[in-house]
Structure 1
């Protein structure tokens, strides 16, 4: 039995590598836990870090460890990626594939805080449950961000007046669920919730000018979409998420999911990765999916490594080293 245990440990060591602490900002602290990443990702480095993240974050959030070096890495590269425009004119997106325990919420909060500090007052955060709005508030406050978190479209409904939205609901972080995203509207205008969200993001400008954050938390909820399939075969959530990205081309999109790439066929909504479309590596999502599925797991690992090497993707997780199971 001991020999079997040793063999399992050696096998795990070959699959995962320990994450190395890098002090991206002065005084940054290591993550409070053993963190690993897959061997295929550990073999490549992220591109040089040039984004001036220190200009926007409170120094105590860094020096007191409210944001660990690992979390700062995700934040910095997301903000750096958002400086890029894709060939079609859309802003490039970033993918956080971290597992539980790494602090995805803190990273999202810091990405939003950076944008707030740079004069972008409205941000949309989509997730799976309205109860998670409280977690969003907690993560924002923990890093020194006191932006108002608006509890979805229903709070917008309650704040509506004959002269428009109440002042305290015109800016901040609008936290909404994917279920609400595809629901019908309410009120005299009977706009759909999707239209209501786009109007809120736009403020007094056109939707195409919105450049705040569009956070797609637990984004695997937008799977089950194939561009060439009949409308009835695709999920309404996926279609709405794709439309939201199309209508807000300059939004700073952040995809967050630990299981987002478990199947290539479920990546169609990740249009801001810049992998398919005109003047991109693949002409269409079908071409992208077909090639990688034919070449198997090795091709998927090469894709993940390429995404990390170009500053598009990070995926870290807690190690089970020294863990005890009852």
Structure 2
């Protein structure tokens, strides 16, 4: 996920100045209640300016104040106890009265110190255990975990808060989106405990999302070691009654132990009064009754917290056996570090491991044998993919297509071509589907010959190799598989390869808005999140798309539309893509862009608006990885006018036809046979594939339904009534239209 934008002064400050500011604020807090004037003075001295002048803002000041309090807490001797220390420090902090847009967007409401100590107390952390905090904020939860002698794995998406955590705790702090922490965290270590306070109603890139806290919890639960404990501060709506789907998902991974509803006054000093839940889960098989209660304050919660802390089970020794070397955890210098992760850790890490997609080239192309006069059995002809499973249903291709072989792709083992190991080994992507991904990835590594400028209408390229403003255009790929071959999953797989390579913006254009459900299904089948795919219709044409990284789902009808102020959807999409967009641009049901160039037959047909919109989208993004998907893309030669990125026409000897018009003319003269030759040639260039499900072995039989006498009687009655009704309508129609003279009334 992309990192949220933070004010430049926060990132420009040096490490020394940041440490100095924390020390100055900490000194104030250590001796007396902090005054706003004292905090403002430190901020002015550190950032060499005032908040009014834009040198800093009060959100930064509050974050520094919270981090300084954590630093004071860590440097204390612990004699006073966590609860007493938390109450004392909390009483000396300012009440936060100012908010920033980013705070609201990312739901940056840190954990009050007194609440943090309750959460960590409920976790019952043992000395030497590893604790993960996936949304560490300014470190309140992590501080009390460190005081128990735990080693820390800290993650925080906000860059400024990352710097604060490094300054306070030292060591590495990752910057992943907590919603995907299990997938993105590179360390194979499984934490013994997770303590977390996720955002309640807003994700990093997709604005409002009332289920985001539950998604963060599920992601953290996946990473938690078997036998471990997860303690989370959650919104009040996360219950089996109000969020059954996410609750069920969480309980498939965890066993709930405690759900305490906390009053809004707990968060009063942080500028909000929202109710929360303190929730405790164990990652164990045995069940048990969950305690649910409402408490009036933290003091009343203490009895419940101590009771659930006493129920934590001992992790079995086998789960601590040395298997891999963990990433260096964070903690105070005196804290012992865990030196072993479990055996389960190794298998878990391998299941989620992203590995290069490797294959062996075949010097002699595989000969796919005919099974009829029309079709040949299909297997990849030029490569053998390591560990790949055959397609669950036999595939075929036409005899004509089977007579030629594609080129050998050149990207085996590339760091840019990687997938989770389980997708290959478990057959979630079959051998044929993986071949498509490999061939498309290889095609996207090449450019159309020459450099081009685009006309004012943005529908035609002109070759201009010597023009400094000319751009190189990336080759596209055409997937012509028939129904049942899994075109949607192949598209999702190609997007995933690019996602893992860092290209985390993609566009999925399809024929109908309802097909977003199929896209989400295919994406989540490969391990993606449903929230990664967002429909363009979610935003008005005249507003910018606030989503950062993700998959933008667009229909062809939406693509050609415009807003009330004249802003087109196309310009809205291009603004989101950015000038150097190099992600996947997938055109599902690409034949919907038919007649992109119009037709000159008869009186002529004007170019279709959605065909033109699709053509403009391709040509406006020269570095996009265009992926055409259609089982019927060439029913008419004019329908291929949208395939501008296949190199079928262009200026120069490298192109078979000098223009789109000459290509269309030649194909019309050659008929269906010429279209088949084009498809074969594209396959030999590594730009096209078309498979279909095999019906070999399918048997047909007549299924006769013997009617009962009662059914025959019913059908006879229907026939009689239908005949009577028809005759009556005929007589009424005749009487209405003609009078006695024979003239029509």
Say if 1:147 and 1:171 are closer, same or farther in 2 by CA, change over 3 A.
Answer: farther
- Name the CA distance, whole Å, in 1 between partners of 2:581 and 2:644: 17
CA distance in 2, matches of 1:171, 1:47: 33
Is residue 270 from structure 1 mapped to residue 643 from structure 2 by the alignment? Answer: yes
**Aligned-pair CA distance for 1:226:** 2.7
Contact residue 97 and residue 316 of structure 1 kept, 8 A: yes
The verdict on how the C-alpha distance between 1:234 and 1:12 changes in structure 2, with shifts beyond 3 A counting, is farther
Q: Tell me which residue corresponds to 2:584.
A: 213
**Higher Cα radius of gyration:** 2
Question: Is 1:151 aligned to 2:534, yes or no?
Answer: yes
Shift of 1:322: 2.2
Asked if 2 retains the 8 angstrom alpha-carbon contact of 1:223 and 1:266, the reply is yes
Count of residues paired in the alignment: 304
Distance 1:283 1:114, change over 3 A: same
Match of 1:39 in 2: 399
CA–CA separation in structure 2 for the residues paired with 1:171 and 1:267: 31
Using the TM superposition, name which of 28-37 and 281-290 deviates more: 281-290
* Residue in structure 1 matching 2:388, options 25, 28, 48: 28
What is the TM-score when the length of structure 2 is the normalising length? 0.39
What's the CA shift for 1:190? Answer: 4.6
Q: Distance in 1 between matches of 2:530 and 2:494?
A: 13
Aligned to 1:15: 374
Distance 1:150 1:35, change over 3 A: closer
The residue correspondences of 1:244-259 to structure 2 (distance < 5 A) are 244-259=617-632
Match of 2:501 among 118, 121, 131: 118
Q: Structure 1 residue aligned with 2:482, among 85, 99, 103?
A: 99
Unpaired runs of at least 5, structure 1: 1-10
Post-superposition offset of 1:249: 1.1
**Alpha carbons of 1:183 and 1:165: their partners in 2 closer, same or farther (altered >3 Å)?**
closer
Written as runs of structure 1 = structure 2, the 5 A alignment for 1:136-215 is 136-146=519-529, 148-157=531-540, 165-166=545-546, 169-185=547-563, 190-202=566-578, 206=579, 209-215=580-586
1:237-291 deviations in whole A, cap 9, x for unaligned?
1110111111111110000000001221211010001111112221111111222
CA contact (8 A) 1:227 1:285 kept: no
Q: For the residues of structure 2 that align with 1:21 and 1:213, how far apart are their CA atoms? A: 23
Instruction: Single out whichever of 141-150 and 93-102 deviates more from structure 2.
Output: 141-150
Partner of 2:607 in structure 1?
234
CA–CA distance in structure 2, aligned partners of residues 227 and 130 of structure 1: 26
1:293 CA drift (Å): 2.3
- Structure 1 residues 190-237: Cα deviation after superposition (integer angstroms, max 9, x where no partner): 5211111111111xxx2xx11111100001000023367699711101
1:321 to 682, 687, 696: 696
Moved more, 145-154 or 94-103: 145-154
SS at match of 2:679: helix
The whole-number CA distance in structure 2 between the counterparts of 1:36 and 1:119 is 35
SS at match of 1:296: helix
Is 2:418 the partner of 1:56? yes
**Cα distance in 1, alignment partners of residues 636 and 569 from structure 2:** 29
Q: Which runs of 5+ in 2 are unaligned?
A: 1-369, 452-471, 703-745
Query: 2:68 matched to which residue of 1?
Result: none
Q: Which digits, 9 at most, give the CA deviation of each residue in 1:102-143, with x for residues without a partner?
A: 000111001101111111121110001111112111111212
Find the aligned partners of 1:53 and 1:121 in 2 and give their Cα distance. Answer: 21
Measure, in 2, the Cα distance between the counterparts of 1:215 and 1:61. 21
RMSD: 2.4
2:662 to 276, 281, 287: 287
Q: Is the 8 A contact 2:377 2:394 kept in 1?
A: yes
Deviations 1:275-311 (A, max 9, x none): 1111222111111122222223332222111110110
Task: State the match for 2:441 in structure 1.
Answer: 79
Of the candidates 86, 109, 113, which is equivalent to residue 492 of structure 2? 109
Any idea what the Cα deviations from partners look like across 1:72-117, whole Å, max 9, x if unmatched?
1111100100011112321100000000110001110011011111
